[in-house]
Each structure stands twice: as C-alpha cells, then as structure tokens.
Structure 1
Amino acid sequence: MATILLSAAGAALGSGFGGTVLGLSGSVIGRAIGATVGRSIDQRILGGGSDAAEVGRVDRFRLSGVGYGLPVQEVWGRMRVAGE
C-alpha cells in the first residue's frame, strides 16, 4: 500500500519540479523514487515473503523412444507413438 501512495506522491512532487533528466520527466523520476521507497517500507511491514512453497513434482518421467533392437509398438486406431 505504501508503494502506491508514495509512488503517487513522488509523481506529484516530481512534476512540480519539472524539467527532464536524460529524457525522463520529473514526474517519472519522482514516481520511481517513491515506488522504490514504498516497496522497501512494504517489505519491512509485511515481511520479506513467505516460505517457499513446494510444488508437485513428477517422480519418474520417462519418454517413449525408439532404438535399434527395441520392439516396434503395435497400436490399433489413432495413437501418437515415438519414431523416426
């Protein structure tokens, strides 16, 4: 929340100064500074983040393949099989 408020306040202050630096207007520079300060305040208040969440993983992932000496797959109807 501090990010949004300080970003808007920085844009208002920056536009009051006017002028440009390296092609960036004072409003853009003020908004960037306000957002950076607001983000650091938000992280201190809300914490650096939560513990890493463990996502589902595939234990065994096998690709079907072909090779010399392996049996030829036999299917009926339409089916995708590996091959050359």
Structure 2
Amino acid sequence: MLKPLADRVLIEPAPAEEKTASGIIIPDTAKEKPLQGKVIAVGPGKKDEPMTVKEGDKVLYGQYSGTEIKLAGKSYLIMKEADVYGIIQ
C-alpha cells in the first residue's frame, strides 16, 4: 500500500449511486463523482500541524479535490488534509 507524505491522505471513494431513490438505473455517463469516502492511509502531518483524520474515518471532500491514482487495480484519491471538509460520524 502507499504511505502518504506530510499532510496528505489516501481515500477510497464511496461507490457512485447505481440507481435513484425511485429505482431508476443511472447509466455510467450520468453518474456523479462521489464526494465521500474512507481514509485508507494518512501521512505524519507537518511539523506544527498534526493530522486530524485517521485511518478508517469516513470523510466528505470537494468535488474536484485530489488526484486519482490506481493501486492494485483499485481507484483511490490522494489529497491534502485541507481538502477534506469533515468527518462523517
């Protein structure tokens, strides 16, 4: 697995919705990019700024946040902790 550096976090995005609440199936071209996911790994933080999120946290992040990377055939996002809006409890 990848160990992020400094204040970066590795996030596994939640799967995109497959169908609407009323049961209509959403085609791949119309699926919205998920805005939440699970923290897989965190960096050590910066000298005077410890990390707030930890592995296993469910978080909310911006629509255009992070860089998509593939590891072992799975898609992840890597971003700075500042791009994470909050922890879902």
TM-score by length of 2: 0.22
Higher helix share: 1
Higher strand share: 2
For the pair shown, the structure with the greater C-alpha radius of gyration is: 1
Larger RCO, structure (CA 8 Å, separation 6 or more): 2
